[in-house]
Amino acid sequence: MAEVPAQDRLAALDMKVEYCERAIRAGEAARREATPAEPPTAPGLRDWIARVGMLRHTMIIEEGWTPLNHKNMALVVNPEQTIAIGVLAGDAGTGWPAPIKPKSRYPKGQAFANAVAGGDLTLFSNEDAGHPEVLEPETIEALDLWLLLTYRLRQGDTVTVFSELSRPESVSASGYIVDWLDRVILPRQTFEAVVVDDGRDDDGSIDVLVEEI
């Protein structure tokens, strides 16, 4: 059976490959704004902020989605409130088809899962962010979380970004996301290497809607 193209798979989520590519390009551009006077983690942090901002802006404008904020999580939710998408740094397994599989580059906490159990996530409306709309616990529990997972590989004067949009399944005892319910491998993107860049990524310490194993 022929593999379904990434664009067709993303269409079922009201997503497009170009939306993910746009977010990654924004992150790479933001890295170039870092200066030697900033902390060593500045390029990665700027990248994460720009990726989150562009992904959410694109989904809001193009598809009518809504930003979802809770503690360190920066997600965007579809109008039907069934899907949430965030961004995350992955390891060298990112962007490769099975049997290779990625894991989160850094260990993740369980604040998101705890918030779901307590039903205290808040959805901020586009019209007025000062008047939050509280989601019902059952709505939170029903959200399918997808992550734009990225891994940067620098080779000489170029950087290749491997990426995928994937749905996490489980977190290891040490806090890493290690299993995935579904993965959509995205096209690789190549950029000119950044001079002020120690190669580290940042993922905003996002927590995920999964249970520890």
Q: How confident is residue 11, by pLDDT bands cut at 50, 70 and 90?
A: very high
Q: Which residue has the higher pLDDT, 62 or 107?
A: 62
Cβ atoms 73, 124 nearer than 8 A: no
Q: If you write DSSP's letter for every residue of 114-173 in order, what string do you get?
A: HHHHHT--EE--SS-TTS-EEPPHHHHHHPEEEEEEEEEEEETTEEEEEEEEEEEEEE-T
Q: How confident is residue 128, by pLDDT bands cut at 50, 70 and 90?
A: very low
What pLDDT does 108 receive?
67
The arithmetic mean of pLDDT across residues 150-176, rounded, is 89
**Nearest alpha-carbon partner for 203 in 82, 69, 41, 93:** 41
Please enumerate in sequence order all residues whose Cβ is within 8 A of that of 18, keeping only pairs 6 or more positions apart, or say none. Answer: none
139 pLDDT higher than 80: no
98 pLDDT higher than 70: yes
> Rounded to a whole number, what is the distance in angstroms from the first to the last CA of the chain?
33
As a whole number of angstroms, the distance between CA 164 and CA 187 comes to 8
Q: How many residues does the chain have?
A: 213
Task: Quote the tokens at residue 8.
Answer: 């067709």
Q: Of the given ranges (19-33, 40-54, 96-110), which has the lowest mean pLDDT?
A: 96-110
Per-residue pLDDT tens digits for 177-190: 888 999 999 999 99
172 pLDDT higher than 50: yes
1 pLDDT higher than 50: no
Cβ atoms 113, 71 nearer than 8 A: no
Beta bridge partners of 152: 161
The arithmetic mean of pLDDT across residues 35-58, rounded, is 94
As a whole number of angstroms, the distance between CA 192 and CA 130 comes to 40
Is 0.85 surpassed by the pTM of this model? no
Average pLDDT, the chain: 81
